[in-house]
Chains A and B, each alone.
Chain A
Amino acid sequence: MDGSQTETLAMVPPEALGLLMPMYVWVSPTGHVREAGPTLKKLCGDCALIGSRFLETFELIRPSGISTMAELGALAGRRLHATLREPPHTAFRGLAVPLAPGQGMLVNLSFGIAVAEAVRDHDLTDADFAVTDLAVELLYLHEAKSAVMDELNGLNLRLQAARAAAEEQALTDPLTGLANRRALEIALAQAADTVENGGRPFALMHIDLDFFKSVNDTLGHAAGDHVLGEVAMILREETRQNDVVARVGGDEFVLILRDLSDRNRLVALAKRIIARFEQPMEFEGHPCRISGSAGIALSISYPTQNPDRMLSDADLALYASKRNGRAQATVFTPDLVLPEDDRLPD
Chain B
Amino acid sequence: MHGLMNRAIQCFLQDTYGAEAWANVAGQAGIGPEGFEAMMVYPDSVTESLLAAACSHLSKPRDALLEDIGIWLVSVERLRRLMRFGGVDYHDFIDTLEELPGRAQLAVPDIGLPAVRVVPHAQGQFTLIVQHGQDGFGHVFAGVLRAMADDYGALALIDHVGSGPDGETIEVELLDARYTQGRAFSLAMPATAGVQ
Binds A, one of B46-54, B125-133, B181-189: B181-189
- Chain B residue at minimal CB-CB distance from A154: B38
A126 at the interface (CB under 8 A from B): yes
Q: Which A residues are CB-close (under 8 A) to B189? A: 116, 120, 139, 142-143, 146
- Chain A residue at minimal CB-CB distance from B81: A143
The contact string, 1 if C-beta is below 8 Å from chain A, for chain B 53-87, is 00000000000000000000000001001100100
Interface contact A140-B194, CB-CB below 8 Å: no
B4 at the interface (CB under 8 A from A): yes
Interface contact B187-A136, CB-CB below 8 Å: yes
B15 at the interface (CB under 8 A from A): no
Interface contact A127-B88, CB-CB below 8 Å: yes
Interface contact A143-B193, CB-CB below 8 Å: yes
A72 at the interface (CB under 8 A from B): no
Q: Which A residues are CB-close (under 8 A) to B81? A: 143
Q: Which B residues are CB-close (under 8 A) to A15? A: none
CA of A120 to CA of B193 in the docked complex: distance in angstroms? Answer: 14
- The number of residues on chain B lying at the interface, defined by a beta carbon within 8 Å of a beta carbon of chain A, is 23
Interface contact A158-B37, CB-CB below 8 Å: yes
Interface contact B38-A146, CB-CB below 8 Å: no
The contact string, 1 if C-beta is below 8 Å from chain B, for chain A 123-149, is 111110000000011011111111110
B45 at the interface (CB under 8 A from A): no
Interface contact A123-B186, CB-CB below 8 Å: yes
Please report A residues at the B interface, Cβ cutoff 8 Å: 116, 119-120, 123-127, 136-137, 139-148, 150-152, 154-155, 158
List 14 A–B pairs whose Cβ atoms lie within 8 Å, in order of A's numbering: A123-B188, A125-B186, A126-B187, A142-B189, A143-B81, A143-B85, A143-B189, A144-B107, A146-B189, A146-B193, A146-B194, A150-B195, A151-B38, A154-B38
A124-B188, A146-B193, A151-B38 known; 6 new pairs, CB 8 Å cut-off, are: A119-B188, A124-B187, A141-B107, A144-B106, A144-B108, A158-B37
Please report B residues at the A interface, Cβ cutoff 8 Å: 4, 34, 37-39, 78, 81-82, 85, 88, 103-104, 106-108, 186-189, 193-196
